[in-house]
Structure 1
Amino acid sequence: MSAEKPQETVFSVRNLWKVFGPKADRIPGSAHAGLPAGELREKTGCTAAVRDVSFDVRKGEVFVVMGLSGSGKSTLVRCLTRLIEPTSGKLSIDGEDVLAMDRARLRELRRHRAAMVFQHFGLLPHRTVLDNVAYGLEIQGLGKAQRRAKAAEVVEKVGLTGMENRRPSQLSGGQQQRVGLARALAVDPEVLLFDEPFSALDPLIRRDMQEEVIRLHREEGRTMVFITHDLSEALRLGDRIALMRDGEIVQLGTPEEIVASPADDYVRDFVRDVPREQVITVRHVMRAAEGDEAETGPAITPGATVAEAIEAVARAGSPARVMDNGRCLGVVDSDLLLGVVAGTRQEEVAA
């Protein structure tokens, strides 16, 4: 995963607050700052949608922010480009202070560097697919021939070839979302920001769109920040996940870290029904090889999931070797793997 190697930081967020209500700027750092949401509203009339949040988004990763409705995740992603103004804290992109940007610089940020894909597609009904995709390039001032050529490339990339001249009303929900994705891609942003883009789609189309995001990320390596309330979507897409509750990040880690070692009962409840074997990898559960185990048996990579390892072990009828660049790091056997599935090795995996 991209989280395993040192990377540049794209977005850096430190002690970020967004408070709604009277005299909101007085809340961060005050005696009221730590109050539960209900008590804060009762005493001050304010709501802290984002509370003292800090994280970095690394170049080339899919950073997922997830939580239930009202957790602050959508407010947080809008703060990144100041579609919502933060109340206090520090926020930078590529080392540049976002909170110090003037209007012109903010327009440049939103048009060129960080493009948003919303749940509600916001397509222009009177424009064709091609002209909807080209809209951001038109705003940037590109000539008609150039922007239509670029838009045509992106339309093909998202699987809409042949639909260039259709209007949004002639498209399915999934196709409309592809147009929204293509429009964001067309401006070639450094970061794609997704605000629950697929939550209105039916399950099959939603899965197709998730596959599309995975494919595009694999092909382009573009940095993505993805907001969702769906744990399975977060686990499927994210290199790292920030799990929010009441405006705060309660745990930040890889999908494997969150499933194997939940930070508290809230996170534990969230991941209770996750098939552990599909998330936890053998690098975290393998044991040392004994006897000639390092020389025999099927070979799997350290990133193989427990589910994949179970299949390899069952097929071979012997322990599987965890191999990296020709070196045996350890082995996994059926007892060990089935213990992970049953949850009996939770402490070992967490460690």
Structure 2
Amino acid sequence: MNKPNKTPLIQIKGLYKIFGKTPEKVLPDVKAGKSKDDILAATGHTVGLQQIDLDIERGEIFVIMGLSGSGKSTLIRHFNRLIDPTEGQIIVEGEDVMKLDDKGLQHFRRHKMSMVFQRFGLMPHRTVLQNVAYGLQVQGISKEDRDKKATEWLETVGLAGYEQQYPSQLSGGQQQRVGLARALCTDAEILLMDEAFSALDPLIRSEMQDQLIELQEKLQKTIIFITHDLDEALRLGDRIAILRDGKLVQQGRPVDILLDPADDYVEAFVKDVNRARALTVDTVMQPQSLRISADTIGEALAQMRSAKVEHGYYVNDDGYQGALCIDKLESVDTSRHDDAIDDKVLEDLPGIQSDALIEHVIPDTIEHELPLPVLDQDGELQGQLSRESVVEVLSEQPAANGAEAEKFSKPTNTDTDETKASA
């Protein structure tokens, strides 16, 4: 991910949305803390969002999640002003989107943000190529240029050769790839993805997630991704915001959400997550025991005795070479203490990558008694991971009881209903 600027790319400040005839009159009751249900019963107004404050950095995948009725789809439609807030600011690159006139808003939607919808949103009477090129057509790009660019994006998403097909001739996964290509084709810096993969079969959904991750590594777009699926959120998100009844209940990195849920509602989400598939090594590793840079056996032994450790990781100019145990070094005859460190004293202990999923390193952690050295992409030593640490993090599941989880899982008014209420 790109290093963020000092100022976030997108800032949401004090955002409220109330659906109904006179939302401004109801706003003081919302701010006073009256419940969503009480306000609906007393006034007929639906509270969609309450006091939302978010900072989204350039180049990150920011996931907004929650159950039906949580306000997530309502929120994403504020980013490009498909819905206007009752109160609050939407600031993109320092510009308050709420202050844009019709012409400015039109330019903003055409050039700054693209959207990928749950139900694909393709035009059935246009070919695949025409669908992908549509945003460029709206921008006034010539047919030759837009067709060339659309063809390139179709190739990027794996649909080369489908240019003259129509949406009805494609599978659901292929249609969503067309939708993704159309959004990317405009070169918009920000992608809004509203439940973009939820209509797909599980296998196709997983493939689309893989493709989005692969594309993001190359393109470094800023992506706001809506989902109700925590596994999807943990897999895709650099950071996650969780909504409940229009309120922001927690935001943070996936590891923060998973290991430190803010309340029972978040616990109900995370209690059944397979942590081994969600957490990476760097989220649970410990500081390294000792980085041994000595040249000889005697120097290594002295270094370990001084640090009062039982083992360490030998690193030379060629990188990590293996582990050293003090018991084995102490058993070496003193006449060899000036000898160079070699395979006779080194333990063949594999290094693991800091960004690897826990599930991928479980076999190695079980096989070796010593903690495994954790290396970054450049092979530099970052820490260590023991079998005890893996067992601990996988066994500490949040203790949300079944009744709470069942309560939170029951659908309430859907975001779609809230959106309809604004009509």
Q: So what's the TM-score if we normalise by structure 1? A: 0.92
Are the structure 2 counterparts of residues 16 and 344 from structure 1 closer, same or farther at C-alpha, using a change threshold of 3 Å?
closer
The one-letter code of the counterpart of 2:106 is R
Cα distance in 2, alignment partners of residues 285 and 201 from structure 1: 33
Q: Which amino acid aligns with 1:86?
A: P
Pair 1:239-2:238 in alignment: yes
Q: Paired residue for 1:320?
A: 372
Change (3 A) 1:283 1:205: closer
* Corresponding position of 1:15: 14
Q: How many residues align?
A: 344
Aligned mate of 1:342, from 395, 403, 410 = 395
Task: Point out where structure 2 has 5 or more consecutive residues left out of the alignment.
Answer: 290-308, 315-322, 324-348, 400-423
Question: Which stretch of structure 1 is more off in the superposition, 41-50 or 127-136?
Answer: 41-50
Task: In structure 2, give the amino acid aligned to 1:80.
Answer: F
Whichever residue aligns with residue 82 of structure 1, its letter is: R
Aligned counterpart, 2:108? 109
Alignment match, 1:349: none
The residue correspondences of 1:45-64 to structure 2 (distance < 5 A) are 45-64=44-63
* Distance in 2 between residues matched to 1:154 and 1:282, nearest whole Å: 34
Contact 1:293–1:321 (Cα < 8 Å) also in 2? no
Matched, 1:194 2:193: yes
Which string of whole-angstrom CA distances, capped at 9 and with x for unpartnered residues, describes residues 201-236 of structure 1? 111121121122111111111110000111111111
1:251 aligns with 2:236: no
Looking at structure 2, the residues matched to 106 and 203 of structure 1 have their Cα atoms a distance apart, in angstroms, of 37
Indicate conservation of the 8 Å contact 2:267/2:398, yes or no: no
Deviates more, 1:156-165 or 1:115-124: 115-124
Q: Give, as a single letter, the amino acid of the residue that structure 2 aligns with 1:100.
A: K
Q: Is the 8 A contact 1:260 1:280 kept in 2?
A: no
Q: Which residue of 2 aligns with 1:294?
A: 313
- Amino acid across the alignment from 1:331: Q
8 Å contact from structure 1 (residues 40, 46) kept in 2 = yes
Question: Partner amino acid for 2:194?
Answer: D
Maintained 8 Å contact 2:47/2:246: yes
Q: Where in structure 2 are the equivalents of 1:102-141 lying within 5 Å?
A: 102-141=101-140
Q: CA deviation at 1:287?
A: 3.6
Q: How far, CA to CA, are the matches of 2:60 and 2:235 in structure 1?
A: 13
Measured in 2, the distance between the counterparts of 1:148 and 1:6 equals: 34
**Structure 1's 329 and 345: CA in aligned 2 closer, same or farther, altered over 3 A?**
farther
User: How many Å separate the matches in 2 of 1:25 and 1:215?
Assistant: 44
Q: C-alpha deviations, 1:12-32, integer Å up to 9, x for none?
A: 101101110132023334466
Residue of structure 1 equivalent to 2:159: 160
Cα distance in 1, alignment partners of residues 97 and 351 from structure 2: 48
Which digits, 9 at most, give the CA deviation of each residue in 1:24-53, with x for residues without a partner?
023334466422211111122211111110
1:134 alignment partner, SS class: helix
Q: What secondary structure, in the 3-state scheme, does the structure 2 residue paired with 1:159 have?
A: coil
Deviates more, 1:332-341 or 1:134-143: 332-341
Cα distance in 1, alignment partners of residues 229 and 397 from structure 2? 26
3-state SS of paired residue (1:18): strand
Q: Is the 8 A contact 1:51 1:248 kept in 2?
A: yes
**1:282 Cα deviation from its structure 2 partner:** 3.6
1:331 aligns with 2:384: yes
The answer to which of 283-292 and 81-90 deviates more is 283-292
Q: CA deviation at 1:160?
A: 0.7
Aligned residues: CA RMSD: 2.1
* Identity across the alignment (%): 47
Q: How far has the Cα of 1:239 moved from its partner?
A: 0.6
AA in 2 matched with 1:292: H
Comparing 238-247 and 197-206, the one that deviates more: 197-206
Residue 212 in 1 paired to residue 211 in 2? yes
The Cα of 1:285 is off from its aligned counterpart by 3.2
> What secondary structure is seen at the aligned counterpart in 1 of 2:198?
coil
Q: Which moved more, 1:201-210 or 1:131-140?
A: 201-210
> Structure 2: how far apart are the matches of 1:344 and 1:198?
28
Say which is worse superposed, 329-338 or 250-259, in terms of deviation. 329-338
SS in structure 2 opposite 1:54?
strand
CA distance, structure 2, for counterparts of residue 188 and residue 263 of structure 1: 37
Task: Mark the structure with the bigger radius of gyration.
Answer: 2
Q: Name the SS for the 1:39 alignment partner.
A: helix
Cα offset for 1:293?
2.8
Q: 2 CA distance for matches of 1:210 and 1:237? A: 7
1:17/1:50 contact within 8 Å kept:
yes
The runs of at least 4 consecutive aligned structure 1 residues that moved more than 4 Å come to 29-33, 324-329
Q: Secondary structure at the match of 2:12?
A: strand
Q: Distance in 2 between matches of 1:194 and 1:31?
A: 29
- Following the alignment from structure 1 to structure 2, what is the Cα–Cα distance between the partners of residues 215 and 32? 42
Structure 1 gaps of 5+ residues are: 347-351
Letter in 2 for 1:335: E
